[in-house]
Structure 1
Amino acid sequence: MSDTRPPRVTGRFAHRATLRRSVGLLGSFRFEQTAPEVFYGGVARDTVDLIGDLYTGLTGRDLTGTTVVDVGGGPGYFADAFDGVGARYVPIEPDPTEMHAAGLQVGGAIRGSGLALPVRTGSVDVCFSSNVAEHVSRPWVMADEMLRVTRPGGLMVLSYTLWWGPFGGHETGPWHAFGGEYAARRYARKHGREPKNRYGVSLFDVSCAEGLRWARATSDGELLAAFPRYHPRWAWWLVKVPVVREFLVSNLVLVLRRN
């Protein structure tokens, strides 16, 4: 992959990555816990645009008739959006409480771990994960599993929140900058309860450098693109700058083609 010019696979999505889109998505984060249907509804539509554009860039086809696996799909907020474009959407979620949190019924939902996906090798057209890797103790094992289940020539997309970015601590931020354990204890003192995302248990410090290193080293896939999920196109260059990217990229998208 060239580090100076975006590969063809990102061409369609690059036109969609405007400042207006960025402001809208970042503004919706305040609803993540108070009105999750508002937050996840917008993210779902944006995710379908992202995956659809990348899949078209890779294959020249849209998502109609494809099987799309969502690793860490939670209660299935993305189901209707993917159904609307003709894809067969299969969320995989390890936590039964999370699966039923929104009261949604998603046909074909699977309870299973991202570290050992209950899916046949090379059987799906698209495997993606959105904002999950930072909640997994071994994120690169999960990434390997995602590539394993993707068919040769298929699309794998891993999008995750960087620890040193503004949203790295989730609800405990920005105090996570002083340490994840400190931020968790401070949150508990202030709110009288433990944070939903507990550092060292359900929230981990994943970096941009780690993701790029894994994507470039894996023999099972080819890295096609790496860019900030919520930034406008003109800010994608931040991924190229060591150290700076850890603080300013916020959410990294890794796009791979399965070998």
Structure 2
Amino acid sequence: MTGTGFRDPSPRRSLALFKAFMAEQRDPEACYRLLARDAADQVEAYGKVAGKVVVDVGGGSGHFTREFRARGAQGVLFEPDTRELGGAPPSSTVVADGYLLPLPDGCADVTFTSNVLEHVADRDTFLSELVRVTRPGGLVYVSFTNWLSPWGGHEWAPWHYLGAGRAQERYRRRTGRPPKHTLGENLFRHHVGSTLRHVRARDDVSVLTARSRYWPFLTETVTRVPGLREFATWNLLLILRRCPP
């Protein structure tokens, strides 16, 4: 895939995404349809996906896969948790672990994962599997909510800044039910700095962009400032190019 990449998006786009995010509980379909269109636009800044194989790893109920298919791609969803699939997942969905995808080496033009990495205990192994199934010259799209961002604790944020145990207990008291996410079980501390150092040290990918996914300006600048980036990035977006073997 070729393309020039993308410039900083508009404030209007960021505001629309924020409004959709705030309404997620009331209207999840609208929220995730918008997010899927936005993510597909980000991928297509590096080349159209029509006729390409797009592997969506951990895509839940399939909003991203459907969007890529609507643009002419051969999109396939791989999701390990059947509870996340909903009532009508896309056809040909595969229940599979992202650590060990049932795919041959280099079969995908785009390997895509959105807001999954923070739910993965072994970051490096997971990333290696994404790279393995991507063809040389293909793209790897990785976006995740870093631990120290305002939403790092997910449903019990921002109280995770006071400690995960305290935040989870507060959520139980306030809602009368256990939280969906438990630190160390299905939510993990991944940071911007250590993740950037890892991908930049790899010899099987080149980093095309490392930026805040949702900010409307200075999206790459904020990820270059140690300390600040852990809080201000909110959600780190990496687009990687698979290098020849």
Which TM-score bucket, shorter chain as reference?
over 0.9
The equivalent of 1:161 in structure 2 is 145
Shift of 1:150: 0.1
Distance in 2 between residues matched to 1:67 and 1:104, nearest whole Å = 22
Task: State the SS of the aligned residue for 1:13.
Answer: coil
Distance in 2 between residues matched to 1:157 and 1:105, nearest whole Å = 21
Distance in 2 between residues matched to 1:214 and 1:84, nearest whole Å = 34
Task: State the SS of the aligned residue for 1:44.
Answer: helix
**Equivalent AA in structure 1 for residue 147 of structure 2:** W
Count residues in correspondence.
Answer: 242
1:113 is aligned to 2:105: no
Distance in 2 between residues matched to 1:52 and 1:205, nearest whole Å = 30
Of the candidates 17, 23, 34, which is equivalent to residue 15 of structure 2? 23
Q: TM-score, normalised by structure 1?
A: 0.89
Task: State the SS of the aligned residue for 1:234.
Answer: coil
Residues 199-214 of structure 1 correspond to what in structure 2 (within 5 A)? 199-214=183-198
The equivalent of 1:194 in structure 2 is 178
Distance in 2 between residues matched to 1:163 and 1:34, nearest whole Å = 25
Q: Is the 8 A contact 1:148 1:220 kept in 2?
A: no
Distance in 2 between residues matched to 1:52 and 1:108, nearest whole Å = 23
Q: Higher helix fraction: Structure 1 or Structure 2? A: 1
Residues 1-259 of structure 1 correspond to what in structure 2 (within 5 A)? 11-14=4-7, 17-54=9-46, 56=47, 62-99=48-85, 101=86, 103-259=87-243
Q: 4+ residue runs of structure 1 moved beyond 6 angstroms?
A: none
Q: Is the 8 A contact 2:58 2:80 kept in 1?
A: yes
Distance in 2 between residues matched to 1:72 and 1:235, nearest whole Å = 25
Q: Percent identity?
A: 41
Distance in 1 between residues matched to 2:140 and 2:36, nearest whole Å = 17
Q: Is the 8 A contact 1:172 1:183 kept in 2?
A: yes
Q: Is the 8 A contact 1:14 1:233 kept in 2?
A: no
Shift of 1:126: 0.3
Task: State the SS of the aligned residue for 1:33.
Answer: coil
Q: Which runs of 5+ in 2 are unaligned?
A: none
Change (3 A) 1:124 1:77: same
Shift of 1:12: 4.7
Distance in 2 between residues matched to 1:119 and 1:27, nearest whole Å = 37
Q: Is the 8 A contact 2:209 2:220 kept in 1?
A: no
Distance in 2 between residues matched to 1:138 and 1:188, nearest whole Å = 28
Change (3 A) 1:230 1:40: same
Distance in 1 between residues matched to 2:91 and 2:15, nearest whole Å = 33
Shift of 1:206: 0.9
Root-mean-square deviation over aligned CA pairs: 1.5
